[in-house]
């Protein structure tokens, strides 16, 4: 009886999923396929077959450098957001409802402002005449203004603020579900605060971190606006390269190669985090 | 060569625990109010009280999770208020057991030993010793989620005891267990507490649990200790109406003091009966009082006797080995009478017309509470 009922609902479920499935097929899978075919084409009419674009991309140390820079940008941003997100998340868990609301608001703020405005705000902060340099000069911490714009450091600082909610929200969600008496138990057993964090909180928060790291990595490596506006002409990452090749140079097969590379790079990073998480969980 | 008896109590010096005028407020709300309690070395005290009376708060203060607003915690003549929880050597078992879900049973038990920097060999040895103590050999490599509630409870105990704490705190450790298992675990905890010579505080709001397991019971209400005494004292000589009502069931009768003698009073009940009640409290003739009596200290009869109350029998229920009679006085006061039930005895017995005090009955007098 129940078997019949389930197979009936299964049929209904299939039909319910169909519209979304078809949309994905038409607007996601199909363009991806076209992109792949394009990367092996001679020109942008999808004509012919040629490995020229691939050979040119991977044969040139400059382009390989761009791939590496993009991956490194993602990894460094993940590392920096992790470093800042954990203390904030711990503070959030330990605070009362009032402070929690305030923290959440501050954390979500970047999501509530337009990417363009956020990015230009960072220019105002990071430029040679910007707020940060003026403060450093006034405090005597530096004698000459630091060059932060168009550097990886400046870009990572900006990305960190922009991507922070993506790291914090999953992290906080998972950490809120950790039974607070686990920390109490650890402390009563003689564990220091640091040990409690390292042995109990950290391993149990890993699912949240993996989700956060995945989002931050995918988002930082593809953050076209931040990369171009703050990175400027000096720093070139895959999204900028794709845009240049597709919209300025009109070399579509080459842009397709860069796109497929970016896609694979992001996927590789994402699986790396999942693996790291699983590894840490089994050895913690 | 004499081998050491594995069941001999380890050489542990029991330590007394003193709570000295402890008060704690959460913001404006007073949760613990001037609690003073001396737990003797090796004694198990049950903190018993209704929900929200401050039991857990008191326990968390002893463990060092919260800093009390005022008062001192003294363990073995040493004030520990400035010590963080990891330096107090106080073991605690939570209602949720709080086993680390990502660690195996063995890793859970070894946690405190590792935190203390014990060697790997010591840890391994102590873990298998503790597993044997709580009869969980063979479960070392399981994860907590692969254990039943009672097994998790044992592991939580083993983990707390592995570091040889001076004091053991138990916050409603049986609440999540079903009734039969609960009794087993109560016996188990009592056994371990004796074996390890532990000074222990057990928080519960189950009076039967407190009565069966504790050396002394502290009944709490609204942040204060209402009465501290042995289970028998608490049951037989409750000091306040709150304790009287909270422990066991009892019947209340309103009355007036008619005569005062040597530590005993003649009390005229509303039904007209005159009871002679011993009491250490001071009353004067004419005082309005409440006399309470346990259901098992009343008997039903079919004729009027000295001090009996005319009643009508409404209902009789067999509850296990007892018969509980629901009776009513002429003026409509309902109360209960309990009697042992003989096997095969019909549930609704005699035509009872009167209710009298049993020969051993010890009613308790309280001043009439202000309405
Ligand atoms: N963290 C907190 N913040 C504010 N008030 C609290 C906090 N913890 C407890 N209280 C309040 O303090 C009082 C005592 O709480 P406590 O947890 O000690 O009660 P309890 O006797 O353990 O109750 P229960 O039997 O339900 O566990 C309650 O009124 C409770 O609402
Ligand atoms: Mg409680």
Best of B22, B23, B25, B26 for a ligand 1 pocket test (most atoms within 8 Å of beta carbon): B26
Ligand nearest to the CA of B205: 1
Judge: A204–B84 Cβ closer than 8 Å, yes or no: no
pLDDT band at A284 (very low <50, low <70, confident <90, very high): low
What does the mean pLDDT of chain B come to?
89
Output the pLDDT for position B2: 46
Best of B32, B51, B53, B224 for a ligand 1 pocket test (most atoms within 8 Å of beta carbon): B53
Write out the two tokens for A142: 């530096």
Which residues are paired to A174 by β-bridges?
none
Does ligand 1 come within 6 angstroms of the Cβ of B53? yes
Residue B230's contacts (CB-CB under 8 Å, 6 or more residues apart) are: B215, B216, B217
Q: Cβ distance B260 to B228 under 8 Å?
A: no
Write out the two tokens for B338: 């309990």
The residue ranges of every structural domain in chain B are 17-244, 249-367
Distance from CA of A83 to the nearest CA of B (A): 23
Residue A111 predicted with pLDDT over 90: no
Question: Is residue A145 domain-shared with residue A15, that is, in the same domain?
Answer: no
- How many A-B residue pairs are in contact by the CB < 8 A criterion? 67
Strands B199-204 and B44-48: parallel
Question: Is residue A63 domain-shared with residue A168, that is, in the same domain?
Answer: yes
Question: Is residue A93 domain-shared with residue A169, that is, in the same domain?
Answer: yes
The residue count of chain A comes to 284
Domain membership of residue A228 (yes or no) is yes
Q: What is the per-residue pLDDT across A192-215, written as a single tens digit (0 to 9) for each?
A: 999 999 999 999 999 999 999 999
Does ligand 1 come within 6 angstroms of the Cβ of B26? yes
For residue B77, the tally of other CB atoms under 10 A from its CB is 8
Q: Which domain holds residue A64?
A: 52-283
Output the pLDDT for position A3: 45
Output the pLDDT for position A46: 76
Chain B residues closer than 8 Å to A181 by CB: 94, 96, 98
pLDDT, average across residues B2-6: 48
Output the pLDDT for position B64: 95
**Which CATH number is B249-367's, of 3.30.499.10, 2.40.50.100, 1.20.120.160, 2.40.50.140?**
2.40.50.140
Does ligand 1 come within 6 angstroms of the Cβ of B24? no
Q: Cβ distance B183 to B216 under 8 Å?
A: no
For residue B88, the tally of other CB atoms under 10 A from its CB is 22
Judge: A182–B98 Cβ closer than 8 Å, yes or no: yes
Question: Is residue A186 domain-shared with residue A279, that is, in the same domain?
Answer: yes
Tally of domains in chain A: 2
Judge: A204–B102 Cβ closer than 8 Å, yes or no: yes
Question: Is residue A206 domain-shared with residue A253, that is, in the same domain?
Answer: yes
Chain A residues closer than 8 Å to B112 by CB: 189-191
Question: Is residue A86 domain-shared with residue A195, that is, in the same domain?
Answer: yes
Rounded Cα gap, residues A266 and A270, in angstroms? 6
The residue count of chain B comes to 371
Judge: B92–A184 Cβ closer than 8 Å, yes or no: yes
Question: Is residue A21 domain-shared with residue A69, that is, in the same domain?
Answer: no
Alpha carbon A68 to chain centroid, angstroms: 16
CA dihedral B315, B317, B323, B327 (to 10 degrees): -20
Q: What is the per-residue pLDDT across B222-238, written as a single tens digit (0 to 9) for each?
A: 999 999 999 999 999 99
**Residue that has been written with the tokens 């009298």 in this structure:** B356
Q: What percent of chain B has pLDDT over 70?
A: 95
Does ligand 1 come within 6 angstroms of the Cβ of B29? yes
pLDDT, average across residues A217-226: 91
| Nearest-by-CA chain A residue for B62 | A188
Output the pLDDT for position B179: 82
pLDDT band at B350 (very low <50, low <70, confident <90, very high): low
Does ligand 1 come within 6 angstroms of the Cβ of B126? no
Q: Cβ distance B327 to B334 under 8 Å?
A: yes
Distance from CA of A175 to the nearest CA of B (A): 14
Backbone angles phi, psi at B12, to 5 degrees: -120, 130
Minimal CA–CA distance to B256: which of B272, B268, B271, B264?
Answer: B268
Question: Is residue A198 domain-shared with residue A68, that is, in the same domain?
Answer: yes
- CATH number reported for the structural domain that contains residue A213 in this entry: 1.10.3720.10
Question: Is residue A146 domain-shared with residue A256, that is, in the same domain?
Answer: yes
Write out the two tokens for B213: 């397991």
pLDDT, average across residues A21-47: 87
Q: What is the per-residue pLDDT across B207-227, written as a single tens digit (0 to 9) for each?
A: 888 998 999 999 999 999 999
Output the pLDDT for position B316: 85
Q: Any idea what the Cα angle at residue A227 is, between residues A225 and A231, rounded to 5°?
A: 125
Strands B216-221 and B199-204: unpaired
pLDDT band at B315 (very low <50, low <70, confident <90, very high): confident
pLDDT band at A5 (very low <50, low <70, confident <90, very high): very low
> What is the A204 CA–ligand 2 centroid distance (Å)?
25
Question: Is residue A71 domain-shared with residue A2, that is, in the same domain?
Answer: no
CA dihedral B24, B30, B32, B33 (to 10 degrees): 100
Output the pLDDT for position B3: 46
Judge: B92–A203 Cβ closer than 8 Å, yes or no: no
Q: What is the per-residue pLDDT across A135-150, written as a single tens digit (0 to 9) for each?
A: 888 888 888 888 888 8
Minimal CA–CA distance to A88: which of A175, A154, A162, A153?
Answer: A175
Output the pLDDT for position B349: 58
Output the pLDDT for position B347: 67
What does the mean pLDDT of chain A come to?
88
Chain A residues closer than 8 Å to B116 by CB: 190
Domain membership of residue A45 (yes or no) is no
Kind plus residue range of the DSSP H or E element containing B288:
strand B288-293
- Which of A94, A98, A179, A185 best probes binding to B when mutated, by most B CB atoms within 10 angstroms? A185
Output the pLDDT for position B94: 92
> What is the B31 CA–ligand 1 centroid distance (Å)?
7
Could you check whether B17-244 and B249-367 share the same CATH topology?
no
Which residues are paired to B329 by β-bridges?
B311
Q: What is the per-residue pLDDT across B38-50, written as a single tens digit (0 to 9) for each?
A: 999 999 999 999 9
Q: Which residues of B touch A (CB under 8 A)?
A: 60, 63-65, 84-92, 94, 96, 98-102, 111-112, 115-116, 159-160, 163
Question: Is residue A142 domain-shared with residue A219, that is, in the same domain?
Answer: yes
Residue B114's contacts (CB-CB under 8 Å, 6 or more residues apart) are: B123
Q: What is the per-residue pLDDT across B89-146, written as a single tens digit (0 to 9) for each?
A: 999 999 889 999 999 999 999 999 999 999 999 999 999 999 998 889 999 999 999 9
**CB of A191 less than 8 A from some CB of B:** yes
Is the ipTM of this structure higher than 0.85?
no
Nearby residues for ligand 2 (ion, Cβ within 5 Å): B 56
Rounded Cα gap, residues B19 and A47, in angstroms? 87
Residue A6 predicted with pLDDT over 60: no
Distance from CA of B209 to the nearest CA of A (A): 23
Rounded Cα gap, residues B35 and B226, in angstroms? 10
Which residues are paired to B328 by β-bridges?
B312, B334
Question: Is residue A32 domain-shared with residue A145, that is, in the same domain?
Answer: no
Minimal CA–CA distance to B287: which of B277, B301, B298, B297?
Answer: B277
Domain membership of residue A278 (yes or no) is yes
Write out the two tokens for A223: 């953050």
Chain B residues closer than 8 Å to A203 by CB: 102
> What is the B250 CA–ligand 1 centroid distance (Å)?
28
Domain membership of residue A44 (yes or no) is no
Alpha carbon A96 to chain centroid, angstroms: 30
pLDDT, average across residues A4-17: 65
Q: What is the per-residue pLDDT across B148-194, written as a single tens digit (0 to 9) for each?
A: 988 999 999 999 999 999 899 999 988 878 888 888 888 888 988 98
Closest partner residue to A200 among B96, B100, B163, by Cβ?
B100
B17-244 is classed in which CATH architecture? 3-Layer(aba) Sandwich (3.40)
For residue A213, the tally of other CB atoms under 10 A from its CB is 30
Domain membership of residue A3 (yes or no) is yes
Q: Cβ distance A195 to B111 under 8 Å?
A: no
Q: Which atom of ligand 1 is nearest to the CA of B59?
A: 18
pLDDT, average across residues A233-256: 90
Question: What does the H/E/C string look like for chain A?
Answer: CHHHHHHHHHHHHHHHHHHHHHHHHHHHHHHHHHHHHHHCCCCCCCCCCCCHHHHHHHHCHHHHHHHHHHHHHHHHHHHHHHHHHHHHHHHHHHCCHHHHHHHHHHHHHHHHCCHHHHHHHHHHHHCCCCHHHHHHHHCCCCCCCCCCCCCHHHHHHHHHHHHHHHHHHHHHHHHHCCCHHHHHHHHHCCCCHHHHHHHHHHHHHHHHHHHHHHHHHHHHHCCHHHHHHHHCCCCCCHHHHHHHHHHHCCCHHHHHHHHHHHHHHHHHHHHHHHHHHHHHHHHC
Residue B68's contacts (CB-CB under 8 Å, 6 or more residues apart) are: B22, B23, B24, B32, B61, B81
Domain membership of residue A46 (yes or no) is no
């Amino acid at each position: 009886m129940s078997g019949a009922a389930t197979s009936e609902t299964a049929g209904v479920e299939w039909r319910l999923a169909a519209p979304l499935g078809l949309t994905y097929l038409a607007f996601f899978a199909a363009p991806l396929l076209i992109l792949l075919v394009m990367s092996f084409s001679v020109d942008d009419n999808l004509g012919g077959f040629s490995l020229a674009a691939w050979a040119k991309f991977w044969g040139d140390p400059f382009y390989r450098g761009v791939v590496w820079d993009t991956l490194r940008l993602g990894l460094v941003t993940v590392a920096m957001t992790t470093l800042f997100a954990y203390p904030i998340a711990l503070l959030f868990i330990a605070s009362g409802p009032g402070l929690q609301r305030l923290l959440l608001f501050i954390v979500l703020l970047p999501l509530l402002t337009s990417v363009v405005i956020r990015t230009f705000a960072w220019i105002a902060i990071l430029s040679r005449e910007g707020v940060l340099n003026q403060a450093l000069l006034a405090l005597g911490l530096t004698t000459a203004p630091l060059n932060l714009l168009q550097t990886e450091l400046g870009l990572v600082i900006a990305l960190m603020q922009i991507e922070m909610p993506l790291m914090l929200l999953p992290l906080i969600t998972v950490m809120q579900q950790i039974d607070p008496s686990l920390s109490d138990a650890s402390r009563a057993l003689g564990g220091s605060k640091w040990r409690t964090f390292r042995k109990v909180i950290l391993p149990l928060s890993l699912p949240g971190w993996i989700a956060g790291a995945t989002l931050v990595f995918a988002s930082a490596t593809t953050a076209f606006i931040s990369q171009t506006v703050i990175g400027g002409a000096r720093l070139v990452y895959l999204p900028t390269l794709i845009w240049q090749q597709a919209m300025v140079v009109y070399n579509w097969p080459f842009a397709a190669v860069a796109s497929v590379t970016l896609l694979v790079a992001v996927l590789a990073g994402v699986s790396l985090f999942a693996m790291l998480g699983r590894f840490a969980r089994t050895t913690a | 060569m004499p081998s050491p008896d594995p069941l001999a109590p380890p050489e542990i010096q029991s330590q007394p625990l003193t709570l000295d005028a402890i008060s704690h407020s959460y913001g404006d709300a007073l949760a613990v109010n001037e609690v003073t309690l001396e737990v003797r070395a090796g004694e198990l005290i049950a903190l018993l009280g209704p929900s929200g009376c401050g039991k857990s708060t008191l326990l968390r203060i002893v463990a060092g999770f919260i800093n009390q607003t005022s008062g001192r915690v003294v363990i073995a003549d040493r004030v520990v208020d400035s010590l963080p929880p990891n330096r107090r050597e106080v073991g605690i078992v939570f209602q949720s057991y709080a086993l680390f879900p990502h660690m195996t049973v063995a890793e859970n038990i070894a946690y405190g030993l590792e935190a203390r920097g014990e060697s790997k060999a010591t840890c391994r040895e102590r873990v298998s010793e503790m597993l044997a103590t709580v009869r969980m050999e063979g479960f070392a490599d399981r994860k907590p989620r692969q254990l039943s509630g009672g097994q998790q409870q044992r592991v939580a105990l083993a983990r707390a005891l592995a570091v040889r704490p001076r004091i053991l705190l138990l916050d409603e450790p049986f609440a999540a267990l079903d009734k039969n298992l609960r009794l087993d675990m109560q016996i188990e905890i009592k056994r371990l507490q004796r074996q390890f010579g532990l000074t222990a505080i057990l928080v519960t709001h189950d009076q039967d649990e407190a009565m069966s397991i504790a050396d002394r019971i502290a009944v709490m209400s609204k942040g204060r200790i209402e009465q501290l005494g042995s289970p028998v004292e608490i049951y037989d000589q409750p000091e306040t109406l709150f304790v009287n009502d909270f422990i066991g069931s009892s019947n209340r009768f309103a009355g007036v003091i008619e005569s005062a003698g040597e530590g005993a009073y003649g009390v005229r009940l509303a039904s007209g009966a005159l009871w002679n009640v011993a009491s250490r409290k001071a009353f004067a003739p004419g005082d309005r009082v409440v006399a309470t009596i346990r259901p098992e200290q009343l008997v039903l009869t079919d004729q009027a006797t000295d001090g009996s109350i005319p009643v009508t029998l409404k209902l009789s229920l067999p509850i296990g080995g007892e018969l509980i009679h629901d009776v009513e006085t002429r003026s409509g006061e309902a109360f209960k009478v309990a009697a042992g039930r003989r096997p095969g005895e019909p549930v609704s017995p005699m035509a009872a017309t009167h209710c009298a005090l049993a020969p051993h009955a010890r009613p308790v007098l309280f001043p009439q509470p202000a309405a």
